Structure 1
Amino acid sequence: MIRTATGTYHTTATAGETVRAFVPHDLPPEPALDVSGQRQRLLERATLAVGRLDSVSTLLPDPQLFLYAYVRREAVLSSQIEGTQSSLSDLLLFELEELPGAPFDDVVEVSNYIAALDHGMARLREGFPLCNRLLREMHAKLMSRGRGSDKEPGEFRRSQNWIGGTRPGNARFVPPPPHEVEARMAALEHFLHDEAGGMPLLLKAALAHVQFETIHPFLDGNGRLGRLLIALLLHQGGLLTQPLLYLSLYLKQHRPVYYELLDRIRSQGDWEAWVDFFLEGVEQTALGAVQTARRLVELFDTDTRRTQDIGRGAANALRVLAALRHRPMLSLKQLCHTSTMTFPTASKAMQQLVSAGIARELTGQRRNRVFVYDAYLTILNEGGEPL
């Protein structure tokens, strides 16, 4: 549906230039979102796919195992959209306190993303609402170290920002002036908690994400936090018991369309085209996550049988395999610490997995060796190559 522009332009001065900053109207859209016909069917399919994803815990012997790996995959993908060059392997090496292959600041950004998500989830479990205070707390975690740590972590911006271009005058988009941010974010918070309209949660998440990105309330980190907002909203609303729906890979693969649709909402009020795109992404992402979980279950079952066939020493090799399922990249030192195995026992058992083609030594060193569960990491890495 083509409406008029979904906001107003305010003239403001920044960096020595006069620019037109866009101030969005409050949600929900007027006239109301058209959710009929094909769009209703898209909503039903996306909701069903999310339900299947929520039941993924029935496939896995340890749901936390999948959550650990999937969250890290998402952190890498979401950060890549913002220009980092780190990979999942870089992050896992960083968490082992080993030297990653990517620039240090890149890996720190990914690690901060995980800390922000962990903090948000912990607060929601305590019964704290999804609100602006929580978003600011998460932003403080997101920007606590590395690039952007000097850009007011945890505080709504007090200066003008812009998106794209080398300066405000040639920017692709200029968000609201700083004095408008508090009021616009307060209205967004009200929309998040307004149940009177009975809007389906997936539609609310779709609209809220765009509104957050349009307000761009922080000096840095808005893209990553805006994507986290989707997962947190679906979790708080009861669609997902764990934060397992992440659209970063979908948005990474369709970046030009994503940006075009955001622009169309602001200029033409075409919320419906965005909602269609969003719901298709939700369905693809949820079904992809379920398929990934099934592939991991098959991999673990196959490799368990292969390890049992090792013969003498199979019991210790199975313990090492279990450790690699929880952390697909491990040093022998960490393995001994987590499994209470002696170094000689752990080393011998790991070598048996290497000989069986299940594990691989990564460093080529004689000391401080790091081993990787290659097949597991390959499944998680799909689509995760740096841009």
Structure 2
Amino acid sequence: MLSPTYAIPALPPAGVDLETVEVLRALAPAHRHLAELKGSARSIPNQGILVDTLTLQEAKASAEVESYFTTQDELFQAELIPAESISPAAREVLRYREALKRGFGRMQDQQDLLTSSTLIDLFQYMKNSAESFRHAPGTVLKNDRTGKVVFVPPQDNAQITRHMGDLEQFINAPDERRLALDPLVRMAIIHHQFESIHPFSDGNGRIGRILCVLYLVKEGLLDLPVLYLSRYINRNKPEYYRLLQAVRDEGAWSPWIVFMLQAIAVTAESTVRLVHGMRDLMASTKQHMRDELPSVYSQDLLNNLFRHPYTRIEAVVNDIGVSRQTASKYLKQLQEIGILTAQTRGKNTYFVNEPLVQLISEGE
């Protein structure tokens, strides 16, 4: 059996200054932008719209870290057609989005506990597998470019299970133990520990990023899992992996924590701009509908146009409970007054909320 190249530490790591001057300096903007995002998210009347839209963006960016590439257009269309008709990459993204929402739901059901069983459930759902933590030895992490082995995680299932049990206790520690460290510093430590244990045969990066967002919700720093860290990680992928390994090789915790805090600050700030844009666009679209089509306007129909940037007759039928004929009439009237644009892709006709698609795509 291979020998691990890094001794998984007890948490928090002993004898390490985790709140250096650099970390404390990075904490202030991270907390400020997170608090602004939490408040901004509450300004959207229908929180489900925000969860659906922003978790899809996180899913897309997270899949790109793992080299699954798709487009916004394909994803918005794929939400409304049978799974067998969409590409493997889009299918991966949509499963990640549902896994994130699933984890959020399980955590709420478990009184905000974030457990190993939840992470196992997310892995099984994403991979459509009955596997749990790794059993087969031989897992190594290699440099994609050179093929050189850079890290060997724990190989023995009993060790993996024990390390994950310890991590679960650290995540869900009582208040008096949690308060010893800032929750954002704890999040950075938790993410590193999870990636170093590497408990699953696949999907560890994606599940590790879900873990980050759910932990922020658990700690009350967000109400909803709407921060998509994966975009920042994807744009800074070499630095992310370098700092991840530097902790293992050199004990360089401070630069790693600062990187994660910067990821939080940057992505929270950009997400606030997106939420404000969505709020303003919803308000202007609502007024446009009321002015031009007062007999058609309903809050449910407005919600449909923002939950499904590419909507179809069937989606309107399902969401607002009207007949197919009525749904078709509504969509064509919305097209006539310029709120929607009709596009035909193969056998499917979509009615596109182009201003929303443009708004969402601006940050890519």
Report the residue type matching 1:174 in the other structure: V
Number of residues of Structure 1 aligned to a counterpart in Structure 2 = 358
- Alignment match, 1:176: 154
> Cα–Cα, structure 1 residues 272 and 364, in superposed 2: closer, same or farther, change >3 Å?
closer
1:260: how far off? Answer: 0.9
Q: Deviations over 1:199-218 (max 9, x none)?
A: 11111110110111111111
Once residues 133 and 21 of structure 2 are traced to their aligned partners in structure 1, the CA distance between those partners, rounded to angstroms, is 42
Structure 2: 5+ residue stretches without partners: none
1:169: how far off? Answer: 7.7
Instruction: Confirm or deny that 1:74 pairs with 2:67.
Output: no
> Cα–Cα, structure 1 residues 112 and 38, in superposed 2: closer, same or farther, change >3 Å?
same
Instruction: Confirm or deny that 1:283 pairs with 2:230.
Output: no
Q: Deviations over 1:207-248 (max 9, x none)?
A: 110111111111100000000111111111222221122210
TM-score by length of 2: 0.89
- Alignment match, 1:6: none
Once residues 324 and 263 of structure 1 are traced to their aligned partners in structure 2, the CA distance between those partners, rounded to angstroms, is 44
> Cα–Cα, structure 1 residues 280 and 101, in superposed 2: closer, same or farther, change >3 Å?
farther
Once residues 165 and 268 of structure 1 are traced to their aligned partners in structure 2, the CA distance between those partners, rounded to angstroms, is 18
- Alignment match, 1:360: 341
1:36: how far off? Answer: 4.2
- Alignment match, 1:212: 194
Q: 1:153 aligns with which of 103, 119, 131?
A: 131
**Which is further off, 31-40 or 373-382?**
31-40
> Cα–Cα, structure 1 residues 140 and 297, in superposed 2: closer, same or farther, change >3 Å?
same
Matches within 5 A, 1:290-301: 290-301=272-283
- Alignment match, 2:330: 349
- Alignment match, 2:67: 83
Percent identical pairs in the alignment equals: 27
Q: Deviations over 1:9-49 (max 9, x none)?
A: xxx44xxxxx7643322222232334243421321221122
Matched-pair contact (CA < 8 Å) for 2:160–2:199: yes
Instruction: Confirm or deny that 1:304 pairs with 2:286.
Output: yes
1:115: how far off? Answer: 2.7
Once residues 87 and 66 of structure 1 are traced to their aligned partners in structure 2, the CA distance between those partners, rounded to angstroms, is 19
1:98: how far off? Answer: 5.1
Matched-pair contact (CA < 8 Å) for 1:185–1:215: yes
- Alignment match, 1:327: 308
1:262: how far off? Answer: 0.8
Once residues 177 and 299 of structure 1 are traced to their aligned partners in structure 2, the CA distance between those partners, rounded to angstroms, is 51
Once residues 27 and 354 of structure 1 are traced to their aligned partners in structure 2, the CA distance between those partners, rounded to angstroms, is 57
Instruction: Confirm or deny that 1:108 pairs with 2:91.
Output: yes
Q: 2:223 aligns with which of 235, 241, 252?
A: 241
1:321: how far off? Answer: 3.8
1:78: how far off? Answer: 0.8
- Alignment match, 2:250: 268
Matched-pair contact (CA < 8 Å) for 1:85–1:102: no
Matches within 5 A, 1:89-168: 89-97=73-81, 103=87, 105-127=88-110, 129-144=113-128, 149=129, 153-165=131-143
Once residues 268 and 29 of structure 2 are traced to their aligned partners in structure 1, the CA distance between those partners, rounded to angstroms, is 11
- Alignment match, 2:350: 370
> Cα–Cα, structure 1 residues 91 and 36, in superposed 2: closer, same or farther, change >3 Å?
same
> Cα–Cα, structure 1 residues 155 and 88, in superposed 2: closer, same or farther, change >3 Å?
farther
TM-score by length of 1: 0.84
Q: Deviations over 1:354-385 (max 9, x none)?
A: 233321222256x742212111122223444x
Report the residue type matching 1:49 in the other structure: H
Structure 1: 5+ residue stretches without partners: 1-11, 14-18
Once residues 188 and 127 of structure 1 are traced to their aligned partners in structure 2, the CA distance between those partners, rounded to angstroms, is 17
> Cα–Cα, structure 1 residues 162 and 315, in superposed 2: closer, same or farther, change >3 Å?
farther
Structure with more of its chain in helix, by fraction: 2
Matched-pair contact (CA < 8 Å) for 2:44–2:279: yes
- Alignment match, 2:38: 54
Once residues 67 and 332 of structure 1 are traced to their aligned partners in structure 2, the CA distance between those partners, rounded to angstroms, is 22
- Alignment match, 2:319: 338
> Cα–Cα, structure 1 residues 55 and 348, in superposed 2: closer, same or farther, change >3 Å?
same
Matched-pair contact (CA < 8 Å) for 2:133–2:161: no
